[in-house]
Structure 1
Amino acid sequence: MNFSRFLELKNVNSLIQPYDKLDLGEVRCSIVTAPGNHHWIRSDDFVIIISELVKEYDINNILKSLIDKNISGCCIVSDTRIAEIDINLCRSFKLPLFSFDNMRNITRLLSILTEDGNVEEYIHDQLKYNIICAMNGPYFNEYNLTKLVGLFFCREVYLLSSDFTMLSKANEHMVSKEEIPLMKWSDELSSWNKTASYSLEPVSLYHESISYLCFPLKSETNILGYLCIQENHDLWERLDIIRIGEILSYFIISLVHYSKSKVFRRKSFEEFLQSALYGFISDASDLKKEASNFNFDYYLNRYVWIIRVEPLENTKDVESSHIMNQILQYACNVSEKIFYKNIFLTESTQVISIQVKDDVPDDVEWPKYLKILESLEIRFPEYRFYIGFSRAYPTLYQLKNAYEDAVFSVTVGKQIFENNKNIFNYNDLLIFHLLFNQMDNPIVIRLYTNTVKLIEDYDIQKNDVLLKTLNTLIDNNFNYKVTADRLYIHRNTLYQRLNKIESIIRMPIGKAETRLMLQLGVKYGYLVNNIGKGNKA
C-alpha cells in the first residue's frame, strides 16, 4: 500500500502520529476482522481492523495481539468513535493509530491496499485468511461468514439453504431496492443440473436487472446450500470464478464445521424462543441474559402471526401426525421464502412466525399472506388454513403477549367470522378480547341481557329481523340512509324497526351511551353464540 495515498483518503483520521515507525512510501498491509491467531500478519505490517463483526471490547484484544506481532501501524474501520481505552493502548506502545469512519465507503479503502494493483487477488487472500481465523474464534457462525464475503467483495451476498430458504445475507439493498425473489430463484435452482462437470460452477440469477452468481456449496455427497454474490461492481471487474472457487472451498469447510455444532445450538435457540413465547421465563433480567447469549436483540418491535391448520369435515386420516408434519413443513418453507427475515417455529397444528415491525404498510404486506394461503389451499385442498396476527410489542419479554394475541386472533376470529374470511388481525378483535376476558362478569352479562338478548328473544318469538337490522346499522356507523340501502328497505321501514328496538330495550338509539351499549352487547352476543363460554342468561 502507498501510505501517502492512504493519508489522502477523505475519511482517514490520524489519532496517534509517531510516523517514525512507518515508511511513507510502500508498506505491506493486512486486514483483520476478528480476534484470533492472525497467522498471516508479519512484523512491520500496517493492519486494517474492520470492526463490523466484533463487539467493541474485542477491538482492544485484537490490538494487544497485533502489538505482540510488532506491527508498524493500525487503522480501525468503524462508523462509531474509537474507544479511549484503544487509543490509550496504542499510545502506550507508540503505535500509529488511524480511523476510517465510513463503513459504506470501504471500497475506496480496499482499492489502495495493494501496491501491485491486483486488488482482487489481494482481497481473495485476505478473505481466505479471515475465514480460517473465524473458524477458531467466538464470532464463528453462518451470519458472520456471509458478512465476511460481503465486506471483502463489497457486494450483496445471500446464503441460501439446500431447500432455498434464506439463512443469512450481507449488504442487502446495496443496489437492489426490493427483497430478492426467493421463490423464483428456488425454481431456477431446482431445475439446475446438480451433476455439473465443474462442482463449483455458478448459476446466473437476476433481480431488478442485477446479475447474481449463485455458487452451489457442495460436500462430497450433497449440496449444503448456495452462496449468491452480486456479479458486477462499480470499481472492480466482474467476479473471478476460479479465484472464488478457492474461497468457496474454505467456506464449505467452515460451513461443515459449523453445522456439526449447530444442531445443538439450533435446538437450544428454539427452546429459548419457545420459553419467551410461552412466558416460561418470568424474570425480564433472566430473559435479557439469555437473549444476549444468542446475540438476539431484546429491544426490538416484534409481532407474531400464526398459520393454523385444520382438516375439513369427512377428511380421512385427520389424526395422522405424519400428514400434519408434512403440511406444517410445507407451510413453513413457503412462508420462509416470502418472509426470509422472519423466525419460524412449528408446533402441533400451527406454524408460528416472529416478525420485526417495520414501516411497510399493511396493504403492501397483505398480498404476501394471501399468497401463502393460496399456495397451501391448492397443495392441500382437504385442509383449511387460517392466519392470526398480534399487535407489535417493543421488548422480548412481551413476546408472550404477542403470542397470546395471535392465538386469540386465529382461534376466536375463525369462529366469529366463520367462512367469511381466514386472515384475522388482532386490532380488529381488540374489543372482542376485552369482552372475552369478562364473559363471566355479572355487569357485562347484565349489559347483554338488558339490550341485545332482549332483541334476540323478540326476533325468535315474532320471527322478525331486528337484530340483523341493528347489526347492519352498527356496521355502517349508525348512518340511516346507508343502512336502509344495504337492507334494500325504505327509510321509513328502517325507522319503524328502530322504534321497535327502542321500545324493547327502553333506551333511545340516538344517545351515544345507548349506541355504545348496543355495540358491546352485539359483540358479546357473537362470543356467547359462537364460542360458547360464559352465562348465556
Structure 2
Amino acid sequence: MNLADFLRKIATAQANSMGVPGLSRILMNEINMPVIITDDKGRVLSWHCPPSVALFPEERIMLPSTIQNQRGIPSEGIISLKGKKLKYFCWPIGEAKIIGYLLLIEKPEQSSETKPLLYGQFAEAVSLAVMVEIMHQREIVDIEKNYKDEFVRDLIFNNFDGIDEVIRLGKIWGCNFSGAHFVMVIELLNKSSNMEANRLEASLNIEKFFIEKVPGSIVGEMAHFQVVITPLPKEQADDWHNYTRDLFATLSSIISDWDCIAGVGKLYESINMLYRSYQQAKVALELGKLVQHDCSPAFFDELGAVRLFYNQSEQDLDEFYKEAIGPLEKYDQENNGSLLMTLWHYLRDGRDIKNVSTKLFIHTNTLRYRLKKIEELLGASLEHEETRFNIYAALKVAAILGKIEQK
C-alpha cells in the first residue's frame, strides 16, 4: 500500500470513530509488526500483534530512558516485555508536549538487516492521528467533568428546584440520594514544583477510587479542592468515622505522588443538608491543618469547641490567648522554658502525673514544680474547672495562631 492509500485508510478510520485501537490495528496489518501505543507514563492505550507473534498484552510498560530522554524525536533501542529483550522503534506522540508514544516491536525472527524505519512515514501518520484522538478524548473528559462539577456545585449550594429533580439528575451520574450522605473536601498539595501538570490525573484517580469503593459517590472540583459527596453504607453506620479514615488512608496510598489532607462534614439523612455538610467540611479542613497531629481527615463533629473560634478575628483570638496564658508565653521566652507545652500535655492527658512525666521524660517532682509555677504565673488554680477550660481553649487558639505546635 502506498502512503496516499494508507492516509485515506487512516482518515476513514477516524471518520468511523474507530479510535486509538482502530488506528493501531491498521498500522499492524500494514507493516506486520507488533504495535504498542502508550500514554506519556507508559500506560498501554492499545496493543496489537500479528498472529505469528506471541507477545501478550500488558497494562503498563516500563519506558526505556532512551525514549524519555530523546523527547520529540524518533528513537530506537532495547525494551523488556514479559522478561523478553526486544528491539523497539519509537515515535513520540504530541508536539508542544509529549502525550504518548507509538512503538513498533521487531519480531524475534527478524534479521538485523530488517529496517522497520522504512515504515516511518506510516508510523508518523498514525502518531499524528492518535494525537488527535487522545486530545479529542481529553476534551470529552473535560466536558463531562464540567457538567459533573456543576451538578456537585448545585448540590452543595441547594441550587435545585426540588428533591425529585435532584434524584433524577443523580441517577444520570450513578448516585442514589435515598440514604445518609456526608461531604469530604480534599486538598492536594504538591510534593515537588513540577507536578502541577498531574493534578488532573490525581483528580481522576480520586473520582475513580470513590466510585469503585463507595458506589453512588460523586466527585467534583471547586477552587482546586476535590469535593466528595459520599453515601454511607448501612453496615458502617455505627462506626462511620473509622470507616472514613480507612477510606482516606487507602486513597492516600494510591495518590502517593501527592500529599493530601481532608475535612469531613457531618452525616445527614437528607440531601437538603448537604450544603451544611460541605460548609462544615471546609471548616474542618482549615482547622485540621492547625490542630491535627497526623494526616488523617479532620471531622467537624470531632473538633469540639475549637470550631467556635473559626470565624473570630485574629485580633480577638490573640487578646483571648494573652489574657488566659500570656504570662506563660512571656516566661518561656525569657527563661527558655517549656511551661506552655507542659500545660498542654497535662491537660490533654487527663492530668495524669505519671503518664505526663513519662511523655515529657521528666521526674514527677519536676512536673509538679512546673505546675506550681504555672499556677503562680496565672494567679489561678488548675484544680478549678473553669480555669482549666479557659486555659485549654487558649491553647487551642495558640495552635490556630501558630504560636505552638500540638505534638
TM-score (norm: length of structure 1): 0.44
Provide Cα deviations, 1:475-509, integer angstroms capped at 9, x if missing partner: 20222222122212222211111111111111110
Provide Cα deviations, 1:337-388, integer angstroms capped at 9, x if missing partner: 22223222234533221122334124345333211101111xx2xx311232
Structure with greater contact order relative to length (CA < 8 Å, sep ≥ 6) = 2
Cα gap change, 1:365 to 1:445, in 2 (>3 Å): closer
Aligned-partner Cα distance in 1 for 2:193–2:143: 37
Aligned-partner Cα distance in 1 for 2:357–2:155: 50
Cα gap change, 1:340 to 1:192, in 2 (>3 Å): farther
Alignment partner, residue 59 of structure 1: none
Q: Which secondary structure does the structure 1 equivalent of 2:382 belong to?
A: coil
Aligned-partner Cα distance in 2 for 1:506–1:349: 48
Query: How big is the shift at 1:409?
Result: 2.1
Cα gap change, 1:194 to 1:507, in 2 (>3 Å): farther
Alignment partner, residue 507 of structure 1: 380
Aligned pair 1:368/2:247, yes or no? yes
Alignment partner, residue 15 of structure 2: none
- Give the letter for the 1:324 counterpart: R
Aligned-partner Cα distance in 2 for 1:508–1:530: 24
Alignment partner, residue 272 of structure 1: 151
Aligned pair 1:432/2:309, yes or no? no
Alignment partner, residue 212 of structure 2: 337
Aligned-partner Cα distance in 1 for 2:145–2:371: 61
Aligned pair 1:353/2:232, yes or no? no
Provide Cα deviations, 1:508-534, integer angstroms capped at 9, x if missing partner: 100111111111111111111279xxx
Provide Cα deviations, 1:302-341, integer angstroms capped at 9, x if missing partner: 11113311113xx2335x4x42112211222233222223
Query: How big is the shift at 1:466?
Result: 0.3
Cα gap change, 1:325 to 1:503, in 2 (>3 Å): same
Provide structure 1 residue ranges, at least 5 long, that are not aligned to the other structure: 1-189, 198-262, 532-537
Q: Which secondary structure does the structure 1 equivalent of 2:260 belong to?
A: strand
Contact 1:415 1:530 in 2 (8 A): no
- Give the letter for the 2:193 counterpart: K
Contact 1:389 1:410 in 2 (8 A): yes
After TM superposition, the structure 1 = structure 2 runs for residues 205-216 of structure 1, keeping only pairs within 5 Å, are: none
Provide Cα deviations, 1:192-239, integer angstroms capped at 9, x if missing partner: 9999x9xxxxxxxxxxxxxxxxxxxxxxxxxxxxxxxxxxxxxxxxxx
Alignment partner, residue 321 of structure 2: 448
- Greater shift, 327-336 or 293-302, is seen at 293-302
Contact 2:267 2:277 in 1 (8 A): yes
Aligned-partner Cα distance in 1 for 2:292–2:170: 41
After TM superposition, the structure 1 = structure 2 runs for residues 178-257 of structure 1, keeping only pairs within 5 Å, are: none
Contact 2:149 2:220 in 1 (8 A): yes
Alignment partner, residue 308 of structure 1: 187
After TM superposition, the structure 1 = structure 2 runs for residues 82-97 of structure 1, keeping only pairs within 5 Å, are: none
Cα gap change, 1:327 to 1:294, in 2 (>3 Å): closer
Matched positions, count:
265
Provide structure 2 residue ranges, at least 5 long, that are not aligned to the other structure: 1-43, 52-141
Q: Which secondary structure does the structure 1 equivalent of 2:269 belong to?
A: strand
Contact 2:158 2:272 in 1 (8 A): no
Alignment partner, residue 206 of structure 1: none
Contact 1:304 1:403 in 2 (8 A): yes
Q: Which secondary structure does the structure 2 equivalent of 1:367 belong to?
A: helix
Cα gap change, 1:529 to 1:492, in 2 (>3 Å): same
Contact 2:179 2:269 in 1 (8 A): yes
- Give the letter for the 2:393 counterpart: L
Alignment partner, residue 390 of structure 1: 265
Contact 1:409 1:429 in 2 (8 A): yes
Q: Which secondary structure does the structure 2 equivalent of 1:384 belong to?
A: strand
- Give the letter for the 2:268 counterpart: Y
Q: Which secondary structure does the structure 1 equivalent of 2:273 belong to?
A: helix
- Give the letter for the 1:310 counterpart: L
Aligned pair 1:494/2:367, yes or no? yes
Alignment partner, residue 336 of structure 2: 463
Cα gap change, 1:192 to 1:430, in 2 (>3 Å): farther
TM-score (norm: length of structure 2): 0.56
Q: Which secondary structure does the structure 1 equivalent of 2:391 belong to?
A: helix
Contact 1:342 1:356 in 2 (8 A): yes
- Seq. identity, %: 17
Alpha carbon RMSD of aligned pairs, Å?
3.6
Query: How big is the shift at 1:438?
Result: 2.8
Query: How big is the shift at 1:416?
Result: 3.3
Aligned-partner Cα distance in 2 for 1:333–1:426: 25
- Give the letter for the 2:184 counterpart: W
Alignment partner, residue 406 of structure 1: 281
Q: Which secondary structure does the structure 2 equivalent of 1:451 belong to?
A: helix
Q: Which secondary structure does the structure 1 equivalent of 2:402 belong to?
A: helix
Query: How big is the shift at 1:391?
Result: 1.2
- Give the letter for the 1:275 counterpart: D
In proportion to residue count, which structure has more helix? 2
Aligned-partner Cα distance in 2 for 1:269–1:375: 23
Aligned-partner Cα distance in 1 for 2:403–2:204: 31
Cα gap change, 1:489 to 1:329, in 2 (>3 Å): same
Contact 1:448 1:525 in 2 (8 A): yes
